[in-house]
């Protein structure tokens, strides 16, 4: 028979987008392997380009309609 006591399992740490972004920053700065640094740097540049594209496109789109 079960006594009703359930053992709580520890939660696994979340991998939110913010945490992954911070890991990329650390990897660019401190990775021992040049290829890992290069891949992380290129991913950061892609994220920056994406935000720049949205920063340009959204106001341009809104200016057409308002």
HSE toward the beta carbon, residue 13, CA cutoff 13 A:
5
Higher pLDDT, 30 or 2: 30
Q: What is the pTM assigned to this prediction?
A: 0.61
Question: Tens digit of pLDDT for each residue in 15-56?
Answer: 788 888 888 888 888 888 889 889 889 999 999 999 999 999
Position 5 pLDDT exceeds 70: no
Write down the pLDDT at residue 30. Answer: 87
Write down the pLDDT at residue 17. Answer: 85
């Amino acid at each position: 028979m079960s006594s009703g006591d359930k053992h709580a399992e520890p939660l696994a740490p979340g991998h939110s987008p913010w945490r992954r972004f911070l890991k990329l920053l650390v990897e660019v700065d401190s990775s021992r392997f040049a290829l890992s640094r290069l891949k992380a740097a290129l991913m950061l540049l892609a994220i920056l380009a994406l935000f720049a594209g949205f920063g340009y496109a959204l106001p341009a789109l809104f200016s057409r309609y308002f």
